[in-house]
Amino acid sequence: MANLHPFGEALWVADGPVCSFYGFPYPTRMAVIRLENGDLFVWSPISLDDELRAAVDGLGRVGHLVEPNALHHLFLPDWIKAYPDARTYAPPGLKNKRRDIRFDVELGETADPAWAGQIDQIALKGSVALTELFFFHRRSRTALICDSIQSFPRDWFKGWRGLLARLDGIVQPGIGAPREWRLSFLNRKIARTAVERLLALAPDRVVLAHSASAEQNGTDLIRRGFAWLLR
Ligand SMILES: [Fe+2]
């Protein structure tokens, strides 16, 4: 299942199995960034098997296991077991939700010292439901965006789930965060500021956790994904 492949300079992505989120099938994707000291920054780790593990080990030492929002945590315990020396990072809300997982660091609004200067870190706040962290890898000019931009092929979800997903605005030509999450942004100004900060970094590429990534025109994808917030 290991399909770890280069996506940008010092950046790789791998697609994992489809997971069920309240019965909705969600494909999964992770990213790996090699930091200047050779340590690997692992973003949103997917299901770990021997093949993926060997592929990751071939890139460097797993130093940092990073979850971008509190909905992403399913596979982290396996990674901690496999890489007990790696530091673990919790997005807002996850440490309380998964008290059984050891987290070394809670992610804040500024880049952790381990990757400051190489990866920018921006908190998408303003929602009463969920805070997500954006990351921007300077060397590959790539933004990592977890759940706040989704756009599935028209026939991806079947039956009533397809209908709900269309209403949610996450089926093509729709793009963005699911409708109920959009509605939970009571402080739109602070959220807009976060997106504008990300846009100001002018990402060329965008890795999305569940939908098609962009290898070019990254800012265009971000603008479309957050049109509901920016306009
Ligand atoms: Fe997700």
How much distance in Å is there from the Cα of 72 to the middle of ligand 1?
A: 6
Q: What residues contact residue 152 under an 8 Å CB cut-off, 6+ apart?
A: 165, 170, 171, 172, 210, 211
Tell how far the Cα of 205 is from the centroid of ligand 1, in angstroms: 19
Q: Residue 109 CA to chain centroid, in angstroms?
A: 16
The structural domains of the chain, ordered by start, are 5-230 (3.60.15.10)
pTM across the whole model: 0.97
**How distant, in Å, are the alpha carbons of 11, 166, 170, 226 from that of 163?**
36, 5, 11, 22
Say how many Å lie between the CA of residue 52 and the centre of ligand 1: 20
Per residue in 115-147, pLDDT (tens digit) is 999 999 999 999 999 999 999 999 999 999 999
The three-class DSSP label of residue 42 is strand
What pLDDT, in 10s, does the model give residues 27-85?
999 999 999 999 999 999 999 999 999 999 999 999 999 999 999 999 999 999 999 99
Q: Report helix, strand or coil for 48.
A: coil
pLDDT digit string, tens, across residues 178-230: 999 999 999 999 999 999 999 999 999 999 999 999 999 999 999 999 999 99
